[in-house]
Amino acid sequence: MVEIVPRLLRDQLKKLAENDSRIDGRNRFERREINLETNILTNAEGSSKVSWGGTVVYAGVKFSLREPYSDRPADGSLMTSAELRPVAHLRYEPGPPSPESIELGRVVDRGIRESGCIELSSLCVVPGESVWNVNLDIHVMSDDGNIFDACALAGIAALRTATVPAEKHDVGEDHPLPVSKTPIMCSYKKVGGRFVYDPNEQEELGGDERIHITLGDDGHVHSLQKGLKGTFSTAEFAEIFDNASTQAAELRNLIEEKVN
Amino acid sequence: MGGYGDVELIKENGERLDGRLADELRPIKIEVGVLPAARGSCRMTWGLNIAEVAVYGPMEAHPRKIQRPDRAVLDVRYNMAPFSTSDRIRPGFNRRSREISKVTAEALESIVMVEMFPRSKIRVEIEILCAEAGTRCCGITAAAVALADAGIPMKDLLVSVAAGKINDVVVLDLDKAEDNYGQADLPVGIMPNTEELAFLQMDGDLSPEEFNLAMEYNMKAAKEIHKLQVEALKSKYTGGLE
Amino acid sequence: MNEVYFGARERLVIPGDKIENEKGHSAGSGIVKIERDLVATQVGQLMENNGTIYVQAFNSAYMPRSGDLVIGNVTSMKSNIWMLDIGGPFEALLPMSLSPWNVQFGDLEEHMVVGDYALLRVQEIDSQHGVVCTMKGIGLRKISTGVVEYVGSNSIRQFIGTKGTNLQKIKEFSGCRITVADNGRIWIEGEDEGILQVREFCQSLNSNSNFNHSKTDKLLQNRMEEI
């Protein structure tokens, strides 16, 4: 279903931006309330649930053993996918994954993969014979805006709490999945002519382009994605890039509190 | 049903492996209004099962060829999340999910007053987040609550529950081991007020006497679960403010 | 409000609940007659009015009735009609002959385009559940200022309050002009701050599913004090 953007909404967002306020009264870089729960799904080896405003996302980690690829005999693998199923919103239709769904999965995947949070060599069981494949699946249940950040947060939280099920596969003792870094995604949306952090549903509907920034613990950037129609200046980017490091630090603390 | 009647599932004192008696349910919890984007929603935990259901509509049915001139169509999807089982499920087409979606839709169409909304569509999205055994019962029971939460007019609620047979004994609400090694499984959908059946499946081996006992257990359990459905729906409107 | 409360029988009902009917009342909305029994079909409060028993549903889809004032959003247009989403199960039509303008065939976009909101009245509903709207009438117009917010067709009653008291309070408090439509949408005009206050009240109405008016009044009072 194609959603119609009400012209009145765009006008209102523009007017609000001129007065430096937002449709729900937040500041430009103010986040909505987040609730993070971990290890809540019995059948997943690691899991999390993120409620972020009215957005609800689950993530689950599953392990399987496989033969390594011949050119990398001692490396395991990490596969991240996110699904935008029709449960999440009126506008999502059943059928094969939409381009939006695939983009979501790939952007979240790049942030986690490129941060190097999981050393692929640590997933080796017997070199040349068997390695772990880690499947991180992210399930969007309710979309009230900013599903990208919610998915990325749920994803890394699930990995941080995952246990490698070695006993079940008869290859040693169960142990925590080694995760050395905590990449955090921060998303900004052009609303009424300027970027805001953590857009809600109405801002997503009535806004323009969005930018996703994934930062590692050391402040290095690991993935960027510009989505939807619109253009921005380098000065605009510099401002949100600067803000992202503050947001990322806060979210990283939230994870540390929950995981440890 | 594998028919492995020789796996010990009932202890000498008559208790089942998890300590339940023959006619006892696993712990159940029902909550409504859990998915803010949906018009109506329900989360049900039943043993280790977790199902969340979202309801959207009624809305104009697209594509036009699915429209019915005299009633609404229920577009029901039952889906298991990839991480919901002990071995990961690959997303995508799945014959089992299709069948369960179909029988669930037909069960719900029997209670929803679909004739009030000709040409329209009501979407029911059942997501299984954690699966033990009995996910279809969990999904149908939660879907009925989510439909009521969405204000969709219906003649009655619907409770789905299963009884079965393990070690030649009829028991209520099979858990995973009992489902894997049991001899029969009889899931039904019961309208709690009229006691009519809107859903029925069975596989395995039951004598007529065993079938009657299994139905008796199901009927009794349906009343218990109905109480939880009613409490969940009412508490949304009586709690809160204070 | 001409609703007669039941006293002891006034209660919250769930689909499937049987309603005792020794007086032979007729079945109104949210009630179905199955053989001789009246049965509730929606979650809501059981009410009686002039011999009819009905359920005041807490959350249900908007069902258009002729004469309703609605706020629609243009979703598509042909040479001679606009199609509008009015939040019901079907889209509504506005033929160019029922618009307030002198429209030439094929020139609809000169007056109203996809994405525009309009205040309309439901003219008629045909047997195929097609909804025809009109924009000829006092106050009916294209909406080009302010904001449109969704409250829900059931929460509208609480929003207005007994004899319109809540609506009056909200208007005075926020300094906004507010138009309430039967399809659960409201049109708010005013300063940003006032609009935000009205919007916040709408949202707290939506998240606190209230059982009765006194609770709503209290909610309104609390919100005003908070702000």
Number of compact structural domains in chain B: 1
Domain positions in chain C are: 7-57, 69-143, 147-226
CB neighbour list of residue A80: distance below 8 Å, 6 or more residues apart: A105, A108, A109, A112, A113, A136, A137, A138, A155
pLDDT tens digits in sequence order for chain B, 242 residues long: 555 557 889 998 889 999 999 999 999 999 999 999 999 999 999 999 999 999 999 998 888 888 998 999 999 999 999 999 999 999 877 999 999 999 999 999 999 999 999 889 999 999 999 999 999 999 999 999 999 999 999 999 999 999 999 999 999 999 999 999 999 999 999 999 999 999 999 999 999 999 999 999 999 999 999 999 999 999 887 754 33
> Looking at CA atoms only, how far is residue B215 from chain A in angstroms?
30
pLDDT, position C162: 79
> CATH code at B133?
3.30.230.70
Q: What fold, for C7-57?
A: OB fold (Dihydrolipoamide Acetyltransferase, E2P) (2.40.50)
Percent of chain C at pLDDT > 90 equals: 48
- The answer to whether residue A1 neighbours chain C at the CB level (below 8 Å) is no
B-chain CB neighbours of A88 within 8 Å are: 37, 54
- A21/C contact by beta carbon, under 8 A: yes
Q: Is residue B16 part of a domain?
A: no
Locate all alpha helices (DSSP H) within C85-163, ordered by sequence: 155-160
| C213 has pLDDT over 70 | no
Do the Cβ atoms of B191 and C16 come within 8 Å?
Answer: yes
User: Each residue of A100-113: b (16+ CB within 10 Å) or e?
Assistant: ebebbbebbbbbbb
Distance CA B100, CA B78 (A): 7
> Burial, C29: exposed, middle or buried (Cβ in 10 Å; 0-12, 13-18, 19+)?
middle
Give the Å distances, CA to CA, from A83 to A87, A115, A210, B233, C22. Answer: 10, 22, 19, 29, 54
Dihedral angle at the C-alpha atoms of B152, B153, B156, B159, nearest 10 degrees? -10
pLDDT at C2 over 80: no
- As given in the structure block, the two tokens for residue A1 are 């279903």
Q: Does 3.30.1370.10 match the CATH number of domain C147-226?
A: yes
Contact yes or no for B123 and A86 at CB 8 A:
yes
CA dihedral of B33, B37, B41, B45, whole degrees rounded to 10? -80
Structural domain includes residue B5: no
Fold match between domain C7-57 and domain C147-226: no
Cβ-defined contact of B81 to A90 (cutoff 8 Å): no
Residues in chain C: 227
pLDDT, residue C129, reads 64
Residue A98 · residue A24 · CB < 8 Å: no
The answer to whether residue B1 sits within a structural domain is no
pLDDT at residue number B3: 52
Residue C109: how many other CB atoms lie within 10 Å: 12
Residues found in chain B: 242
* Cis amide leading into A176 (omega within 30): no
Q: What angle do CA C6, C7, C11 make, to 5 degrees?
A: 70
Q: Do A85 and B48 touch (CB under 8 A)?
A: no
Longest dimension (CA), chain C: 60
The fold of the C69-143 domain, in CATH, is OB fold (Dihydrolipoamide Acetyltransferase, E2P) (2.40.50)
pLDDT at C60 over 90: no
- Domain of B56 in residue numbering reads as 28-238
Give the other-Cβ count within 10 Å of C224's Cβ. 14
Of B48, B127, B132, the CB nearest to A141: B127
Place of tokens 């079938």: B211
ipTM above threshold 0.90: yes
**Domain-located, residue B21:** no
Nearest-angstrom CA–CA distance, C196 and C50: 40
Q: What is the pLDDT of residues C151-165, one digit of tens each?
A: 887 778 888 887 888
Q: Is the pLDDT of residue C3 over 70?
A: no
A53-73 pLDDT, tens digit per residue, is 999 999 999 999 999 999 999
Q: pLDDT tens digits for C117-172?
A: 999 999 999 766 689 999 999 999 999 999 999 888 777 888 888 788 889 988 99
**Distinct helix (H) and strand (E) counts, chain C:** 4, 16
- Which SS3 state, helix, strand or coil, does residue A236 take? helix
With CB atoms and an 8 Å threshold, state whether A137 touches B81. yes
CA A253, A243, A50, C226 torsion-angle sign: positive
Which residues of chain A are under the pLDDT cut of 50? none
Which of B87, B129, B132 to mutate: most A Cβ within 10 Å?
Answer: B129
Q: What is the distance between the alpha carbons of residues A252 and C111, in angstroms, rounded to a whole number? A: 52
Round to whole Å and give the CA distance between B170 and B21: 11
Neighbours, chain B (3 or more CB pairs < 8 A): A, C
Domains identified in chain A and CATH numbers: 7-259 (3.30.230.70)
